[in-house]
Amino acid sequence: MLDIKINAIQLRMDESDLRFSFCKGETEWSWTKDYRPKMECKEGTVFFDEALEIHHELVQNGIGKGIRSSFAGFEIEGTKVPYAFETYAWIEETTEDIFFEWVPICEEGITVEKVFWPGEMELEEKKNDWYTLLNMQQGVLIPNDWETELTAIPFDGFFETAGGYMPWFSQFKGRNGYIAICTTPWNAGYQAEHPENGPYTHVGVRFEPSLGRMDYKRVVRYTLIEDGDYNDACKIYRDYVREQGNLCTLNEKAARVASVDDLIGCSFIHKGIKTFVQPESDFFDPENPDKNNNLTPFAVRTKEMKELHELGAGKLYLHLDGWAEPGYDNKHPDYTPACEEAGGWKDMKELADTMQKQGDLFGIHDQYRDYYFAAESFDEDYACRLTDGTIPTHKRWAGGQQSYLCATQAPHYVKRNFREIEKNQIHLDGAYLDVFTCNEGDECNNPRHRMTRRDCYDFRARCFDYLMSKGILPSSEEVSDWSARSLVFCHYAPYDFMLRKPGSPKHGVPVPLFNLVYHDCLIEPWMMEKIDDTEDYMLYALLNGGAPYLIRDGAYPNFDGSFDGNVKMHIEEDIKRCKVVTDLHKKVAKCEMVSHEMVDGNPQVQRTTFADGTKVTVDFEKQTYNIEVTKDEERAG
């Protein structure tokens, strides 16, 4: 047993099975007994302990102490290959953080596809106050005794996607826990297991190649928490983001583009102009051809926006799909001109000008990842190419056959297209660049524009930053840690259950992990559907201090949370409900979400507290809310 200690932190490694444990005070965290460090490779599964040469040494330097292990010489189908790597687990003396580092040394002889290290922690007792935090969309807390099995995680838990808005997870035994932050998240993710009724939840990290090679050091940082809870984990991560220079608040963004302040307090409207589903698209309905295509003139949308104001809807933000000639999700990135059948640039300008005159905001949907074969400028040479030379394609969306545009090209297309929109005098307040913050980054092995996944995120951020430079507020489908510095708002940042069929069992207690870190950095519109008498999404909008959707016409039926069968209300009632949410949003949009709690330990009664002292309490059993603003002002419903 190798053992090191700094202050109250102790780190141990069992040389016989390569399992680690660490502790602070009386709480010990150990890797599960059946965990065996491994790599999934093209050649098959390779376990660390199969290395022909394994050496361990204790290391002490000017910043801490650790255990370095080297693994070299593996046998593949009877042949020794020189593949080698190191692991280094160490305690930083200044912070008492524990770092686990996996370092490739020689990549000859084995093609690694996934590295499963460091290991999953034991959390085996069926206790309600033993729980796991996953950044699956807005966030979920899974008690060890939770009755529902954890099923498929979006994007297989890949960090920086809808399955992992932030690259960390956390576990607690009562009031003592840890947060594991992947500080190299670009080619990494997590996997988690929780069976029906528990009694355990296991979660671990994995690392994947970049352009076919492991290539660089992979790191997970563990911070131990005493007498704390999930709020402390979130605030530790917020401090980490601030240290990296990536915490950019709405106040800072408003200093760059003043219209950030105009977006606060808006009710959001999601509408479209033209839908055209190509016959080869997976969404094409051959039995009901009339459902495949539709067209709404710009003039109709202009009239609707005027009527909403007459009804007292207040300040609006219109997100417009399908505004260009090809129709929604067609022929990107060659999307202009404005749809001629709907009135062309002239009537689109009339809509934008009307919004501006009314004090509303106007934005468009656009797309710079899906690269459609039907685009006039389509050239396979600019599509993302894998290391084996193949180019991924599919035909899921309305535009039919497509590949993925290498993101090195995206900023150029954004500049080209938005200059065309500007030339036609269309005033834009915002623009939504689809899927950038929902889907994983792409990689491209074309030597003319080779791109790693980390590069991809940088190129996507350049697109957002270009829009900001033009006074256009950037948005994308969901939220993701890498984009928080550049993004002003999003389409939504929901709890994972909101995108499943209403009534589906929840995977745990919904908790606003992302907002406990980033609430004062982004504007999040929230679904406002009342599903039935037991589930009203308005309560989540209030709890999160977000903006409301007044109208949300989904681009695809029964997809992305747009389901039929909700309680239908008159528009006047929808406006009234939205006003409650916008009034709160005006007050707390730029405030940090200081804390979230289960009142008296009851997950059905939740409360958030914001930096200005505002408290929002919702009771999901009674379907009620209470907003405490000051001693003199209180609102309930």
Q: Are residues 341 and 398 in the same domain?
A: yes
What is the CATH classification number for the domain harbouring 475?
3.20.20.80
Residues 129 and 265 in one domain: no
Q: Do 488 and 522 contact (CB within 8 A), yes or no?
A: yes
pLDDT value for 124: 97
Residues 112 and 48 placed together within one structural domain of the fold? yes
3-state SS track over 155-180: HHHECCECCECCCEEEEEECCEEEEE
Q: Is 66 within the bounds of a domain? A: yes
Residues 216 and 280 in one domain: no
Question: Are residues 531 and 437 part of one domain?
Answer: no
The single residue listed with the structure tokens 């190798």 is 2
- Mapping DSSP onto H, E and C, the string for 17-70 reads CCEEEEEECCEEEEECCCCCCEEEECCEEEEHHHCCEEEEEEEECCCEEEEEEE
Residue 84 CB partners (closer than 8 Å, separation 6+):
70, 71, 72, 73, 105, 106
Which pLDDT belongs to residue 75?
94
Q: Are 474 and 488 in contact (CB under 8 A)?
A: yes
**How many CA atoms does the CB half-sphere of 400 hold within 13 Å?**
14
| Domain contains 395 | yes
Please indicate, yes or no, whether residues 32 and 146 belong to a single structural domain of this protein: yes
Q: Decide if 372 is inside a domain.
A: yes
User: Considering 491, 523, 545, which residue would you say is the last residue of a domain?
Assistant: 491
Q: At 353, give phi and psi (nearest 5°).
A: -65, -40
Is position 45 within any domain? yes
* Cα 534 from Cα 623, distance rounded (Å): 7
Boundary (domain end) residue, out of 469, 491, 513: 491
- Beta strand extents in 440-488 (DSSP E only): 473-476
pTM for the predicted model, two decimal places: 0.97
Whether residue 558 is contained in a domain is answered as no
Domain co-membership, 447 together with 483: yes
What is the Cα 146 distance to its own chain's centre?
24
Residues of the chain with pLDDT under 70: 631-635
User: Are residues 150 and 299 located together in one domain of the fold?
Assistant: no
Closest by CA position to 498, among listed 552, 458, 449, 460:
552
- Range of the structural domain that residue 210 is part of: 2-243
On whether residue 391 sits in a domain, the answer given is: yes
- Establish if 164 belongs to a structural domain: yes
> DSSP E strands: which ranges in 120-249?
130-134, 140-143, 168-173, 176-182, 188-193, 202-207, 218-225
Say yes or no: 172 and 310 in one domain: no
112 plus 192 within the same structural domain:
yes
213, 243, 273 - which closes a domain: 243
Q: What is the pLDDT of residues 477-507, one digit of tens each?
A: 999 999 999 999 999 999 999 999 998 999 9
Contacts of 55 (CB under 8 A, 6+ apart): 69, 70
Question: For the segment 247-270, what is each residue's pLDDT rounded down to a tens digit?
Answer: 999 999 999 999 999 999 999 999
Q: How many domains does the chain have?
A: 3
238 lies in the same domain as 100: yes
Q: Based on the domain organization, do 119 and 193 belong to the same domain?
A: yes
Q: How far apart are CA 109 and CA 84, in angstroms?
A: 10
- Using DSSP bridges, classify how beta strands 361-366 and 316-321 pair: parallel, antiparallel or unpaired: parallel
CATH number at residue 19: 2.70.98.30
At residue 633, the pLDDT reads 63
